[in-house]
Amino acid sequence: MNVEAFIQRFGAVLEVMADMPLPQARRAYDKLCRTFTPPDPDGMRVEDSVIESVSVRRFIPHSSTPGAILFIHGGGFTIGSVDSHHGTAASLAWALNHEVVSVNYRLAPEVDYPVMLAECRTVLDAIQPSALVGDSAGGRLAIDLAHPLRGAPPLGLIYPPVGELSLACLGKDAPLLSRSDILSIRAQCPAIIATERDRYPPASCIEILTVEHDPLTYPIEAAVADWRLKGTSIGYRCAPQMVHGALHAQFQLAEMGSAWQAFCQALKKRLKP
């Protein structure tokens, strides 16, 4: 599969979803993302459980290294689940050889952003993770979880929304995620606007993965430059030709798969033995 085919296949379903009631759209999104997901790696145990009323999915490799990784899925704060991001979480667990705990936090409009953040914090407090990893909207949640922590664990961020999220700071429109899409998400969840919060690095060690065609990449690169000046150790890589959401097809898109594996290996080196 090439990226044009991915865009056509993914975008066609997103277009249909726009006319669906939200519960149906969420099911369609989960189903779409799972069509790109390969079988779980051999020997991996997958368990659904609850941590203090918050549902999670655990991905446990055979003979895994002690210490769990907290993973927070994306989906624009309104869609997405442990099902839609099952493949990403399983791949992360396999690459790091650590248990990954994926949080099934509640979504807007049923709850607002502070509730989502509180549910993720409940899991963080319970498992005391060796690293925080967030995809897209989950990256925003991971950043805001890390900010108040003293000695935050390493952060792994996959094309997260950062900063003001205004037209003045966003990059060009791109397939699957436009500037107007981001403004709509901003209006739905105004608490994600982080003009002041993102002036300061959320952790001392961060690994970031972006894609070439994504309005969010420009503000992320601006934040990386600023955080580095403040002394943060940041590994940064941008997958060429790729678009927002392409991580779902990491096994079909060579450029995305290569960038993802490099991201995972860099994050693994950040983990305490």
Instruction: Give the pLDDT score at 17.
Output: 97
Per residue in 46-64, pLDDT tens? Answer: 999 999 999 999 999 998 9
Confidence of residue 272 (pLDDT cuts 50, 70, 90): confident
| Close Cβ partners of 159 (under 8 Å, ≥ 6 residues apart) | 135, 136, 139, 209, 210, 211, 214, 216, 217, 220, 244
Beta pairing, strands 98-103 & 54-60:
antiparallel
Is the omega angle on the peptide bond into residue 109 within 30 degrees of 0, that is, cis? yes
Per residue in 135-176, pLDDT tens? Answer: 999 999 999 999 999 899 999 999 999 999 999 999 999 999
Per residue in 71-128, pLDDT tens? Answer: 999 999 999 999 999 999 999 999 999 999 999 999 999 999 999 999 999 999 999 9
Instruction: Give the pLDDT score at 205.
Output: 97
Per residue in 7-37, pLDDT tens? Answer: 999 999 999 999 999 999 999 999 999 999 9
Residue 129's nearest CA partner among 88, 71, 74 is 71
Instruction: Give the pLDDT score at 180.
Output: 97
Contact 143, 155 (CB under 8 A): yes
Residue 72's nearest CA partner among 11, 21, 134 is 134
